[in-house]
Structures are given as structure tokens and as C-alpha cells.
Structure 1
């Protein structure tokens, strides 16, 4: 089965390319182009009044799509920002004690690692890293204020599956649990209904949501971090019970908002979700399509000198295959020279799969690998 018709603009822009980096910069569906134009036209027609539309029906539609995808009981717990780093900074700012004792996996993304290293350097944080399979047990031993873990680790594809045990540790007065869902959202079926009142969840549209940059979101559990120190004027809340001059906050996810932003990502995300709904393409169906391609590749490709870090098994699987080997940078460069886009992280070559690929694309990739 092929869904290439949904990506005709992106595919025709470079027709000879094999783009096996859906886990990185996912190609954009045609619907996102029309949505970008819609955002421009709204700005032209409405000018200053566009914010009533953006912060009203456009905003609420995006919240609704995300809440349904994650089985969140209340869409109003969702806030938006251009990137997830903004949310990390605001959550951290809301913890009053210093240094903040942080527990994380040893496979978190560069943005988290860099910021945390700087906070440690400045005396703002104390960091403990644990292997992914030891994270929950380490967290249960106590002694931390913030637990941060990716749902799917960006480098290896390992999945942190026991969110309920982590969530059981979370309390409004600490510790707080933050799940980075960037490689999980719309990649593996995720039901947060049982833990929505205890964990923070961050993700965005750059990868499997197919909506590009600038559309990241946070689900903030009620009662946790009511007054982030790092804040923007969009988080303001007019509470007449506050003393004069006091800083008010929205009572829902809006308490984590910043300031003026580019709203076109909201339009793109909504358009992509409407397209998927019209095509009856759920995350489960897309994952099944991807898994079939992954199985075809693993069955045909001879990756001599490489170890597959995330073998295909019966459980949920990342949308990419992570191959570790000393030759990863060289192979990545050779593939790029053949107009095959993958990505490399140190000695790990990641090959990502999406719904704009079909069996013929996999076969072409296998042939190219054999030739080089």
C-alpha cells in the first residue's frame, strides 16, 4: 500500500531522493502547504484581529487533536510553544529549591543534556543519569526533585514503557515527572488517561506529527507548578482576588505559555490531522505500515559490522532502526552521496520509515547498500 499521494509536493521537489529520515525531518504532507497559505491569508484579512481566531478555534482544534491522540481527559491542560526547551526551562524555574536534584536516562537529547550540564556547572542542579532499564528502580529509591525521561530514546529507539510506576512517584510538592514524548507522539499508540493527573508530557510536530517546526506542546497536570518563574504575558490571568501588582497565572495549561509566536504551525498541524482522519490513518495503522517496511528491510539488508540496537519484536517499536558500528559516519556519507537521506549520531546510523515510503523504496535502499 502507498500513501505517496499525500506527499506529492515534497516528493516531486526531489524525485530521485530516498528520504529515510522520517524520524528526523519528516516530509510534509500536501495539506500543510495549504495550511501555511491559510495562516497567511488569515493574517492578511484579519491583521491584529487574527489572534482572536488563533487563540480561539485554531488553538482549540489543535488541543482537541492532541488530547484525543493521547487520551487526555481535558484539552485545556495543553499549552503551546515554538520548542520543547521553553517548557523545560519553565518547569525547572517552578521548583523553588536549589540545587534541583534531577534524575534522567543516560540517553536524553542534546538540548536537555546541554542545558542540564550548564545548570550543574552553575550550581543550579545535581544530575544523576541512569540506564533506561534502571530508571524506574532508581527513581523509586527517592531523593530527587525532577525525573526526566524520553518515552522513546532518540539514539537507540529504546522505549520507556512503565510510565505508571513513574507517575505513582509524582506529587505536587515533588518529585515531578516529565516525559519527553518527541519520538513517541504519533509514532506509538499512547494512552495517558491513567497518568494525566500526575505527569508532564512534552512533544511537537517536527517528526511523526508531520507538521514541521514551531508547533510544540506541553500537557501540564493540574496542581503541579502553578506559578513558573520564567513566564510570558500570554500566561497572564486576571484574578481579582490577587493583591495589586501580583503576578497572576492561568489555572490550566496556559500557565506555561510564553509570548508572541508564529502560529502557522498550529494551522499545519490541524490540516495534517484532518487529512489523516479523512484517510482513516490512525497511529496504529501508520505504525503497521512502517513495521512492514522495517521487516522487509531487516530481512533483505546485510548490515555487516553493525549491531541493530532496537530489534523488531512483538511490542511497540520506534519508527527508526538504530544500527551501531564504527562505520556509521562513513556509510551515512556514502548514502547521502547516492541521494539517500538517513542520519548519524556518533557511531549509530538511524534509518527512519514513514507513510511516504513503500516496498519499492525499501528495495531501492537495499540495492544501494549492496552497491556501496
Structure 2
């Protein structure tokens, strides 16, 4: 059962933001205080074990992280979860499966996250790589048109599909059933990857029907609340041999004889890389150990955040959107939406001026292009939302 005051878990971060209203949960979520204890515990463990720490990390720490992720996503096999410092490393490793192919055809959308968009724009410079983008700019207002366009394209042959669960520049979200329906019309030979970063540990997500059929990427930096270094990818079972590889991918045979044949683990570890800072796994585990002990689950978190969002919309000053020429990119009913609300300004200049005005009054939000994002999280309460609305009221007069 959700505690009445989850804000209590975040006292150190609030102390670091005294006087400020932090509504960037979608960018840098506050970390629970217990994550600091986990960071120190990791350092102490290194001091005690030295190089022997890796055996403990691979036998205890990483499986705990995988189990927490599997529980959140309702997956049966936690071993099919690869870990990395970030999701871009994993998506690049996924792309490396196609290295040496005469051609590569990718289907994605116009509204994918910065790293992936930058990556596929660079790939488009290579003659034998073709990338088709389905326009998702209007998805917040006409999801049916977007889904029809996706189904039309999916009927064609693509080698790889890369699609967001929650779009980073609007917060508009695909439902589990919508994703299942898209995967159902995708040829079996096509690899289907879902960018779940803005959905993981925020929206109640059940991958049970998709397990073994899709790659799902997410991490701990946002709603996972463990900070940097906990990128993950759910991997279907298979004999995967990504060309971009490192020693983690065959850790179990590290002490064996070496040769010219490159071996891989027979599970998701085939997609793991090389030496990284594993402290994020310790922070992530500590947070979700705490939440499990306190009865805090994803449905409860989502309901709590949805309540904050509704309080915000009910008390948002009437003239705020009109004064800044802002258009909401969400259904006011918030039937199924990510944990941030986005308003689109009529120009980049106006969006930047609005952002700077809010930040100068210690209202911390961010923007992507002309779109302003207000993020909500477990570390806030209704008093924070009301304080936000009161400051906005003073700005509009």
C-alpha cells in the first residue's frame, strides 16, 4: 500500500533544492536517500574485496538488478535482461548485429529520443542503409492515424523497428495492447525494439505477451530512481552474436583458454559490454528493495503521479497558456499518459523566454524544441503542485 507521505524518502535532494520547485522528474528524478547509503556501501565493498568484487557483482548484485527489472515489467526470465552504462550502448550493440549486411532497412518515427535520432541520421549518410520515419508529431491528438500509418509500414519488410513506448517530446504513450497489436502485424524476421525509458517504472507495463518477441530498452536514470549507469535491454532468446562486444559477454569462461573463436553467453549477457562503474546497480537495488518492503509498486506510483497531474490541471492559472501561446499536447482526462505534461509554444523563441522566466522564479522545468515539459514524481506532494500553481499565478497577474 502506498505510504501517505512518499516525499519522506527524498529529504537530501529536497535539501539540495531548498526554495525551488523541481518539476523535472522526467529528466533527473530525485533519488531516495537510501541510494546514498548504497553508494557508500559499494565503495566499502570495493575496499574490502578489491578485484574479487566482480564475482560478487555478477553472482549477486546483477541478478538482483535483473530480478527487480523483471518484476516491474512482469517478465518470467530475468536472465534475458542485459545491462550497460546506458541504453545507447545497447541500441548500438543491437545495430551491430547487422554489420556486414549488404543493406539495412529500419523503421522508426520522427519523435525518438536525441541519441537514437542522432544515430539514425548519421546512418542515413551510409548508402546501403534506408531509414523510414513515421510522423508521430500529431500522435497526442490523433493516435489512430499514427497507428494506421505504423501498421501500413509494418506490413512491409524492415530489418529493424525502433519505437518509443512514451514519446520524449510530448509524454503521449502507447498502451500495452497497442504495442501488442503492432508487434502482431510485424514479420517474424523483423527485430522489434521498444524504447521504454519514459515508461519504465512509471506506467504499469506488462510485457508478458511480448516476452521473447521484442527488445525493450530502459534504465534507472529517470523513474527507475537509481541514477546513471543502469541501462538495460530485455532480449528475446536466441544465438545472438553482436559485432560490438566486450568481455562481459563471455564472463563465465573468462578463466578458460583463449582462442580466435569469439564466444557468447547463451542469454542476454551476449549483449553486455565491458568494465563499467557498477555503483548504479547498488543504488537501484537499494531503492527497489525499499519500495518492495514499503509496498510501493508501479500501479500505486502511477496513480499517485496522475493525482498530482490532475491537481495541477485543476489549479493551473487560466491565463498561463494564453499569455505564452501554449497548446497542451495531452488529453485533459489523462486516461493513459506519461509522467510529464507538455505544452507547445508557437515559436522556439517564445518557448525559451517562457522557460527562462519560470527558471528565474525557481520553477524548474525544461523544454525540447518549442515544447515545455512539466514532470511529476513520487518525491512531490500536492502542496508542491499548489505552490507551483501559485507561482504561475503571480507571473500571469
The TM-score by the shorter chain falls in which range?
over 0.9
Query: What's the secondary structure of 1:94's corresponding residue?
Result: helix
Match of 2:314 among 294, 299, 310: 299
Distance 2:150 2:201 in 1: 24
CA distance in 1, matches of 2:152, 2:223: 30
Cα distance, 1:118 vs structure 2: 0.8
Instruction: After TM superposition, list the pairs within 5 Å mapping 1:215-364 onto structure 2.
Output: 215-223=230-238, 226-236=240-250, 238=253, 245-301=260-316, 302=318, 303-304=321-322, 305-313=325-333, 315-326=335-346, 327-364=350-387
Which runs of 5 or more residues in structure 2 are unaligned? Answer: 137-145
Which residue is 1:138 aligned to? 152
The alpha-carbon distance between structure 1 residues 238 and 124, as it changes in their structure 2 partners (threshold 3 A), is farther
Aligned to 2:125: 121
Distance 1:168 1:243 in 2: 42
CA-to-partner distance for each residue in 1:12-71, whole Å, 9 max, x for gaps? 122111100101000111011001001101101100111111111111111101111111
Cα drift, residue 169 of structure 1: 4.6
Deviations 1:250-293 (A, max 9, x none): 01000001000100000000011011112211111111111111
Contact 2:27–2:222 (Cα < 8 Å) also in 1: yes
User: Does the CA-based 8 Å contact 2:155-2:187 persist in structure 1?
Assistant: no
Task: Measure, in 1, the Cα distance between the counterparts of 2:28 and 2:46.
Answer: 27
- State the match for 2:142 in structure 1: none
DSSP-derived class of the 2:216 partner: strand
Q: 1:124 to 1:80 in 2, by over 3 A?
A: farther
Find out whether 1:20 has 2:36 as its counterpart: no
Which stretch shows the higher mean deviation, 136-145 or 301-310?
136-145
The CA deviation at 1:10 is: 0.6
Alignment of 1:87-102 (within 5 A): 87-95=90-98, 96-102=100-106
CA drift of 1:332 comes to: 1.1
Q: Contact 1:200–1:220 (CA<8 Å) still a contact in 2?
A: yes
Shift of 1:238: 4.4
Residue segments in structure 1 that go unaligned for 5+ positions in a row? none
Shift of 1:183: 0.3
Q: Distance in 1 between matches of 2:334 and 2:342?
A: 17
Q: Distance in 2 between matches of 1:117 and 1:124?
A: 13
Alignment correspondent of 2:180: 164
Give the TM-score of the pair, scaled to structure 1. 0.95
1 CA distance for matches of 2:259 and 2:38? Answer: 42
Q: Which residue is equivalent to 2:140?
A: none
Do the aligned partners of 1:23 and 1:353 also contact (CA within 8 Å) in 2?
Answer: yes
For residues 122-180 of structure 1, the C-alpha deviation after alignment (integer angstroms, 9 at most, x for no partner) is 235211110342453134321211000010000011212312123335566x2100000
Correspondence for 1:65: 68
1:55–1:171 CA distance, 2 compared to 1 (3 A): farther
Residues in 1 aligned to 2:9 and 2:166: alpha-carbon distance in whole angstroms: 26
Distance 1:8 1:278 in 2: 19
Residue 177 (str. 1) matches residue 192 (str. 2):
yes
With over 3 angstroms needed to count, the CA separation of the structure-2 counterparts of 1:46 and 1:67, relative to structure 1, is same
Q: How many residues align?
A: 368
Cα distance change on mapping 1:230 and 1:289 into 2, 3 Å: same
Aligned to 2:139: none
Query: Is the deviation greater in 120-129 or in 192-201?
Result: 120-129
Secondary structure class of the residue paired with 2:288? helix
SS of the aligned residue for 2:208 comes to: coil
CA–CA distance in structure 1, aligned partners of residues 362 and 180 of structure 2: 43
Deviates more, 1:131-140 or 1:99-108: 131-140
- The more displaced of 334-343 and 160-169 is 160-169
Deviates more, 1:51-60 or 1:301-310: 301-310
CA distance in 1, matches of 2:332, 2:77: 34
Counterpart-to-counterpart distance in 2, 1:312 and 1:217: 32
Q: Does 1:365 align with 2:388?
A: yes
